[in-house]
Amino acid sequence: MQNEEAPLIDAGEALSRPGQTTILTRGVVRLFIELGFSPLVEFKLANGRRVDVAGLDRKGRLTVAEVKSCRADFECDRKWTDYLGFCDYFYFAVDQAFPLALLPASEGLILADAYGAMVSRPAEERVMAAARRKAVTLRFARQAARRAHAE
């Protein structure tokens, strides 16, 4: 009897939504690092919402990427508008097979895969008020520090 290992993913089988989200998130994090951002995955905002990827740049500006793994993921999740007041730049991050016409043209677009990502459409700048920026930056730093010490 031969001991054959089954492939992890059949060539015709699609990834699960969580699996696809993980892959796209990895690509976005790599892009953020290339752009000089300090990325944080699943950053919890003061309003209780949790963004998929947040990146803080050297000037203290916060960029948020909302990862959408498929059409159903986008259509059933309308909370992304709750993130807009907590960032300077907002992007949807999707793969190349995603139906792009679904996404609002007013928001930035990142095309991602497991190996990296690229900005396909730049995000409009939304300047946070100074008090909110301070609160968001402090929250970002505290969450990053807690994670660094939890490992």
Domain ranges of the chain: 17-150
- Residue 114's SS3 state is coil
The domain made up of 17-150 has a fold known as Trna Endonuclease; Chain: A, domain 1 (3.40.1350)
| Terminal-to-terminal C-alpha distance of the chain | 43
- Taking the model in full, what pTM does it have? 0.87
Could you give the CA distance from residue 107 to residue 104 in angstroms, rounded to a whole number?
6
Query: What is the structure's pLDDT at 16?
Result: 76
Q: What is the pLDDT of residue 137?
A: 97
Confidence (pLDDT) at 77: 85
Q: What residue has token string 């010490």?
A: 149
